[in-house]
Structures are given as structure tokens and as C-alpha cells.
Chains A and B, each alone.
Chain A
Amino acid sequence: MDSFVPWLLLALPLLSAVTIHLGLKKNQAVSALVSTASAAVTLVLAIILLLQKENVSVAFNWISIGGFEGIKIGLDFDQLSRGMMLVVTGVGFLVHLFSLAYMKDDAAKARYFCGLSLFMFSMTGIVLASNFIMMFIFWELVGLSSYLLIGHWYEKASAADAAKKAFLTNRIGDFGFMIGILMLWQITGTMTFDGISQFFDGAHPKVLVPSLTMLSVSILLIFMGAMGKSAQAPLHVWLPDAMEGPTPVSALIHAATMVAAGVYMMARLYFAIGTETLEALWGLNTIAWIGGITSLLAALMATQQDDIKKILAYSTLSQLGYMVMAVGLLNPEAGMFHLFTHAWFKALLFLGSGAVIFACHHEQNIWKMGGLKKTMPITFMTFGIGTLALCGFPFITSGFWSKEQILEAALKNNTSLFVIAAFVALLTTFYMFRLFFIAFLGKSRSDNASHAKEVGPLMFVPLIILAVLALVSGFQPVAESIAPAYHHEGFHFGPAFIASVLAVLIGFGLAYKLYANAEKDPLADKGLFKVFRNKFYIDEAYAKIVGYGQDTVAAFVHFFDELIISGLIVGGFSRAAGGIGRIFGRLQSGNLQGYAVLFGLGVLLVIYLTVFVS
């Protein structure tokens, strides 16, 4: 394979972003087309690379440091990155198409598409990065492009705040990530994934690593980066707020690709280190537990949300929790497989919700929708398929196959996590059908909903493509050829299958009973559900904690600045100079004869000293 093609994959979106930013800001329509064209070409390139099935890596030295290995810029092509590339460019291209229609009347279309291209560039960088330094750089770049796109409508205070919150929360995770990378560098002496893989190859880890605790700590710190990007509790608070951005952005960045980057990075790390070494470490269960708890909390919060995008955001959180749990259970293949199927059906659900929001004149409250089944049949059908896939409807949807692998992994390693995962599956079905019943069935509950019309082909074609992928991407032949990582175990009838079928049935039954003909939420404001509706008051708690912390630090700094710096040092010197000046200033009376007296006294003093003293 030509080594030119991989670089092209990285360079095209960057070129498009730069061109739009520098030259095409005024020309909205052209800039949209440039960005979409670059996405289309990268998709074609990604498919070509995927079909070649050839492991390639290209690299050049970026910085050489004395006796060290130096920092490389390199691209790695293996099954993991090729499959992930397909997800990124595939969802990316469809989202570009959808955006052409969704953002048709936006005043800053050029800025929006520039942001999308920048994001595609950064995400490609993460996926293809051959070492941790490069991954970290692109990691921060996706953070930046996510910030820009969440804050696209920055005139709205809530959007600007959400963008800030996303960036800052990510920074907390990235701080740990950076320390973890440096610790791992210290332990292994290399930054590249190949190098790490060679380092751990063969010998028993105790021989290689002086302290296994250090290795565990470094992996947990690297996981902090994933916690930030993949929005795991307790750093999950930014993702629901990120829904302030345009809906296609939510589909691309905050559902299918960027938030999955944490899982992808952990999978890369785990594949490089190898299961044998990982099993010798302690504390990695924490990762599985964080994933499990996130998925449970998010699913509970999702049951009481009224905003269609917020429900999907919490379901994304919950599914990301599943993936992290699978990684934590030392089964990154299952996590990556769920990432792969989830990318398609969650992008489908988000774009579907985008179509609904577009048709209902930017109404996002599901209680003001209703009856969309008749007016928007294509959206209704595709959204229904997405819902089924997310619930993991047995056999015909992709979500079933990937969720099954995660449940199996949990069952094998940790029964309590399995119970949590099964319960989350039940909750998922419950809240998704709650959304589905309220938004699409029944009668229209507002003028916006009753006047909704089916969206145009630019919007429904991506929906149909994604719906097909949501159904077929889980099947073994498809998954084996295009999924980033797939481990075929063959389906077998067991507790995991029973649990997932029961979860779907019970969840559906409850949702049907409560919401099939509901005019308002029967559970609202009832005890525990009020807590769910208020997101466990986590945001409020953070506001308090951050508030107190900041106030304490600020009070200390204020004390130091006012009293020590300003009062004692700077102010002390200035007051001393001023005081001395005032004392001697009195001598300058301006009275001529006063001076004469002083002069006379001075002369007397000099005479006294010369004549009588010496």
C-alpha cells in the first residue's frame, strides 16, 4: 500500500478546515460543500484501506531527545484503527450530509462546517496515532473542536456555559491522562503502542516491571483521561449539557465518535499490554465498577428526562458505561464491538431526534410532541429501528449481539456487575419506549407537532442508511470484516440471553403500561423519581463543592495578596518612602529666612566640629 494514502486521510479534513477558515468564511454554501466533499473522500479512502486488510505503519521522527527514543508522528493501520476509521468517516459523512439540510438557514454555516472538518481531522489523528504523545495532542484537539461546536450558538448563554463546562471537565481527566502517560513512559521507556506491546511480550510482568503498583497506578491515571472524554462518573456531568450544540454535532461527537475515544484508547492500551500482564495487576476492577455505576446512574436519570436529546444523552452515558465495564473486565473486544454497533444506532437515534426537532420547529420537549407516526413515517420507522437496536431486541438488531457479549463477560467475571448490567438493560428499554410512545404515538400535544412534515431526502437518506447498519452491523460476517475488534464466541442459550430477553420484555411492558396513553408523566415528582429527574443533584453538589473550594482558595489568596504582598512588602516600602519624604518635606518651608537660619546653624556646626572637636 502506498504510504501516501494514510497521510491523505489525515490531511484532507485539516486542509478543508484551513481553507474554510482562511478563505471561505463569506461563502457559506461552498464551504459546506468543501467540508462534505472532504468527508466523502476520506470515507472512500477508509473503505479502500479496510478492504486491503493490510497492517501498515508509517512514521517519521518529530523530536529527537538525546539518548531517548524521540517523539514520532506516526500512523498505525491495524484491524482496530481501520474499523474505527470506518465508524468515524462513515458517521462523519452521514452527519455532514444531514447537516447540509439541518443547518441550511444557519447564519454561521461556514464556521460550523469548519468545526466539523477540524473535528474529523482530530478524531482521525486519535484513531491512527501510533504513540501516546500524538494521541494526547489529538485528544486535546478533539476537546477543542467539541468546545467550538457545542458553543456554536454562543449567543445563547446556556450553550456558551455548556461548552466551557465540557472543556473544563475534560481538562480534569486529561491532567490524570498526562501524568499516566509519563509514568508509563518511565516504566516501559517507550511511547509507541508497538513498543509497549514488545516490552510486555513474553516474559512475566514481575520480571519486567520493578513495581506492579506503579504500573497499575499509571493505567488508572490514563483511565482518568478516558473518564473525561467518555464521560464516566463522576466526570459525566458535561455530556448532558453538551446537547446545547446543534443536533448533528451531538450525533457525531457526543454519541458516536469522540465520547467513544476513551474506550478506544483503553482498548489500544489493553491490547498493547496484553491480558496476561493485566491479570497480574490489582485495582483494574475499579474501571469495571466505574463503568457499571455510570451506566446505572445514567439509565436511572434517563427515565425522568423530558428533553428528547437529554434522554439520548443519558442513554449514551449508560452505553458508554457498558463499554468501559467490558474493558474493565479485561474484555476490550466486547467493549469495542459495542462501540461499533452503538455508533451506528446512536447516530441514527440522534439524527432521528434532529429530524423531529427540525420538523417541530426546534421543540425538544417530548410532552409537546406526539402523533408523529402519521406525519413523519420514515423518521418514525428508522427511529423505531434505532430504539430496538439500543434496547437489544433479540436476534434481528446489532445492539443485541454486542450487548450479549458484554453481559457474558460480566457473568463470567463478576456477578454483581452482571446484575447491574441486566437491570440497566431493563431501564434502557423502559426509557427508550417511554420516549418512543410519548413522541411518536398518541395525539399531537402542540401546534408544532401537529404541523410537522416529513423531512427532505438529505435528511432521511442518512437515516435509512444508518437504520440498515443498525440492523446488520452486529451479524457475524459483517462484524468480522468491518468491526474494529470482534471476537466470535457463537451464540449460546444461557443466563445472559434470558436476562437480556426478560429485560426487554419487562421494560417494554412497564413503558407500555405507564406511557402508552399518558398525557403527562405519572411518575413525575414521586419520591425517588424526583431525584432521578434532578440527576441525583450531582450538578448542584459540584456547584457547592467547587464553590466552597474556590472560595477557600480565593480567601487565602486574598489574605496573602492584601496583607503580605500589598500590605507588607509593596505597601510597606511605599509607606516608608512616603513617611520619610513627608518628614524631610517639612524642611522645605519655602521661607527664605528659614533657610538662612538653618544655613547659619549649619555653619556654626561645621565651625564647632572643625575647631573644637578634632
Chain B
Amino acid sequence: MASLNEFLFVSGLLFAIGLSGVIIRRNIIVIFMCLELMLAAASLTLVAFSRFHVHNGLPDYNGQVFVFFIITVAAAEVAVGLAIIVALYRARQTINVEDLTSMRG
């Protein structure tokens, strides 16, 4: 079976891909999906720690319960986030973040 380090490496890779996507991509939906990717990376870390933190022959389920919470909240967040993007598109006819600079100080 793969070791904890390999899980953490994949998770870090996923997080890095998500973060760079958030920073680099201009399409707001792609940015949104990258955010989800970062959440998935965090979930993966939690599950991995849970699996490898064995106590009395049983894994630590706290981490796995945490992941369920993350999935639930992420689902709710996706619903709200997509609704905001639709509303934004209706108002501005664009989903390119470079055009959304009206908050410039």
C-alpha cells in the first residue's frame, strides 16, 4: 500500500494545481473549479491522516467525519457560488475576472 508521504505528496500537488489555477486562470468558472480542487486536496489530506493514525487497531474516524462536513459545505458553497456567477454574468455579460475591476481604489 502506498505510504502516507505519497498521499500527502499527491494532496500537496492537487493543492498547488488548484492555487495556481486560482491565481493564473481568467475564467471565473475555472477559478471556481480550482477552488474545489483545493478543497479536495485538503479532504484527501484529512482522509490520509485518518487512515494512518491507527489507535487500538482502528483508524481515527474524526478526520473522515470532517471530510463529510467539508463535502456538505462545499456543495452548499457551489450552489451559492454558481448563483453569484450567473447573477454576475447577467449584470456584466462577462465571466472574465480582468473585466471586473470596479473595486479599484
Interface residues of A (CB under 8 A from B): 584-593, 596-597, 600
Q: Do residues B100 and A592 form an inter-chain contact, with CB atoms below 8 A? A: yes
Interface residues of B (CB under 8 A from A): 19, 22-24, 31, 97-98, 100-105
Q: Do residues A588 and B23 form an inter-chain contact, with CB atoms below 8 A? A: no
- Contacting residue for A590 out of B19, B22, B31, B105, CB 8 A: B105
- Contacting residue for B97 out of A586, A588, A592, A600, CB 8 A: A592
Count: A-B pairs, CB below 8 Å: 33
- Provide a sorted-by-A list of 7 A–B residue pairs whose CB atoms are within 8 angstroms: A589-B101, A589-B105, A590-B100, A590-B102, A591-B98, A592-B31, A600-B23
Q: What 7 additional pairs, Cβ within 8 angstroms, besides A586-B105, A592-B97?
A: A588-B105, A589-B101, A590-B105, A591-B104, A592-B31, A593-B22, A593-B24
Q: Do residues B101 and A590 form an inter-chain contact, with CB atoms below 8 A? A: yes
Quote the shortest CB–CB distance from B42 to chain A (angstroms).
13
For A589, the chain B residues whose CB sits under 8 A away are 101, 104-105
Q: Do residues B104 and A588 form an inter-chain contact, with CB atoms below 8 A? A: yes
Tell me the complex Cα distance, A591–B98, Å.
Answer: 7
- Contacting residue for A593 out of B97, B102, B103, B105, CB 8 A: B97
Tell me the complex Cα distance, A588–B105, Å.
Answer: 5
Nearest residue, chain B, Cβ from A591: B101
For B98, the chain A residues whose CB sits under 8 A away are 591
For A597, the chain B residues whose CB sits under 8 A away are 23
For A592, the chain B residues whose CB sits under 8 A away are 31, 97, 100
- Contacting residue for A588 out of B22, B31, B100, B103, CB 8 A: B103
Q: Do residues B19 and A600 form an inter-chain contact, with CB atoms below 8 A? A: yes
Q: Do residues A585 and B22 form an inter-chain contact, with CB atoms below 8 A? A: no
Most buried by B among A585, A596, A597: A596
Tell me the complex Cα distance, A593–B22, Å.
Answer: 7
Q: Do residues B22 and A596 form an inter-chain contact, with CB atoms below 8 A? A: yes
Q: Do residues B105 and A585 form an inter-chain contact, with CB atoms below 8 A? A: yes
Quote the shortest CB–CB distance from A584 to chain B (angstroms).
8
Tell me the complex Cα distance, A292–B101, Å.
Answer: 87
Quote the shortest CB–CB distance from B33 to chain A (angstroms).
15
Nearest residue, chain B, Cβ from A600: B19
Tell me the complex Cα distance, A584–B101, Å.
Answer: 17
Nearest residue, chain B, Cβ from A585: B105
Quote the shortest CB–CB distance from B26 to chain A (angstroms).
8
Q: Do residues A596 and B23 form an inter-chain contact, with CB atoms below 8 A? A: yes
Nearest residue, chain A, Cβ from B22: A596
Tell me the complex Cα distance, A586–B22, Å.
Answer: 22
Nearest residue, chain B, Cβ from A597: B23
Q: Do residues A590 and B103 form an inter-chain contact, with CB atoms below 8 A? A: yes
For B104, the chain A residues whose CB sits under 8 A away are 588-591
Tell me the complex Cα distance, A585–B105, Å.
Answer: 5
Quote the shortest CB–CB distance from B93 to chain A (angstroms).
17
Tell me the complex Cα distance, A396–B104, Å.
Answer: 100
For A596, the chain B residues whose CB sits under 8 A away are 22-23
For B19, the chain A residues whose CB sits under 8 A away are 600
